[in-house]
Structure 1
Amino acid sequence: MSLFDGARARTLRLEARIGIDDLAVAAGISPNTVRYAESGIHQPRPRVANAIAKALGVTLAELAPCGPPLTLRDVRRRLGLTQAQMAARIGVVRQMVSQVERGVTGVRSPSTWAAAYRLTPSQWSSAQKASRDLVRRKVAAQTHRRRRQQQRGTTA
């Protein structure tokens, strides 16, 4: 499952003029679970995400869209946290968060990092891979541009 888009779920709920308590009853979950899912505090389990989607009358794909995978930076920003705040949550320095989000370094305790980003370990691994792949693509594009500039300079 892709990352659940809590803001989208909240928008759909408000557009349908459904209260949190009513959505919770329709989905068979607690009101706090709805609040947490909408706020991004927790990524809901697939069963809960499906129940919310069904209660809102939409497909799960509308609440957990398949698109470009989210990077760790995207996830952190959705939580409304800075790198320094994330570092404090994990118990590391800010530079470590920066390096991990850029895919420069790995981590010893993925489950600790996943919990801090409010992801399952599997979701965290996917977001970490997306972060690393994004940086690799950027570096490859820069290298390609430099080579083309150098070739133009030697042929001119």
Structure 2
Amino acid sequence: MLFNGAHCRALRLASGRSIKALAAAAKVAPNTVLAAEAEVRQPRIRVAKALAKALGVPLEDLQLPISADGASLPGIRRALGLTQKEMASRVGVSWQTVSRVERGGRAQLVLDWAAAYALTLPQWRRAHAVSRGLVRREAAALTPRLTTQTRGDHA
């Protein structure tokens, strides 16, 4: 599940509370509430539960269902409230392997990976492809482009 920061903010505002007041009620730092509402960071499950309790709503009201169609593996892992190290423990590999696979690298025993991410095999394959595509787009954006004139000089 993904945390719905916009809905959390709407519930907080409807209750007339400030970020500081909600943070105090949930026993978390105000910056944690701010980051969760702005969807800068997915809060850990403990924080999401505390915010839901402080707002008087079930946890499900603050979450969006995971959609593996457009989600990356890191996004799904974070939505599950897991670190790379915790995911590595689930799969039985090192955290470095999780990092490599989440960047689009090959994975052995794909059924084990899909189960660890709480996905079906087709969902895992789509999320893996999304992750690989994100890394490729980031790399392409960082690679300096040759201008037509420069290419012409070397031709």
1:79 is matched with which residue?
80
Aligned length: 105
| Per-residue deviation, residues 32-74 of structure 1 (Å, max 9, x unmatched) | xxxxxxx8xxxxxxxxxxxxxxxxxxxxxxx659798110000
Give the fraction of aligned pairs with identical amino acids, expressed as a percent: 44
Give 1:122's aligned amino acid: P
Partner of 2:128: 128
Return the alpha-carbon distance in structure 1 between the equivalents of residues 69 and 137 of structure 2.
14
Return the letter of the residue paired with 2:146. Answer: R
Q: Which amino acid aligns with 1:115?
A: A
CA 1:67–1:87: 2 relative to 1, 3 Å = closer
Larger helix fraction of residues: 1
Matches within 5 A, 1:80-119: 80-105=81-106, 107-119=107-119
Which residues of structure 2 form unaligned runs of 5+?
Answer: 12-44, 46-63
The answer to whether 1:147 aligns with 2:149 is no
Query: What is the aligned partner in structure 1 of residue 23 from structure 2?
Result: none
Equivalent residue letter for 1:116 = A
Superposed CA RMSD in Å reads: 3.9
In the alignment, structure 1 segments of 5+ residues that lack a partner are: 16-38, 40-62
Shift of residue 124, structure 1, vs aligned partner: 0.6
Q: How far 1:146 moved relative to its partner?
A: 4.9
Q: Which has the larger displacement, 134-143 or 79-88?
A: 134-143
Change (3 A) 1:93 1:140: same
Query: Is the Cα contact below 8 Å between 2:77 and 2:87 reproduced in 1?
Result: yes
Change beyond 3 A, Cα 1:146–1:83: same
Give how far 1:142 is off: 1.5
Which 10-residue stretch deviates more, 64-73 or 116-125? Answer: 64-73
1:116 to 1:132, Cα distance in 2 relative to 1, 3 A: same
Distance 1:65 1:91, change over 3 A: closer
Tell me the equivalent position of 2:14. none
Q: C-alpha distance in 1, partners of 2:122/2:65?
A: 15
Structure 2 contact 114–124 (Cα < 8 Å) conserved: yes
Partner AA of 1:94 in structure 2:
W
Distance 1:68 1:136 in 2: 18
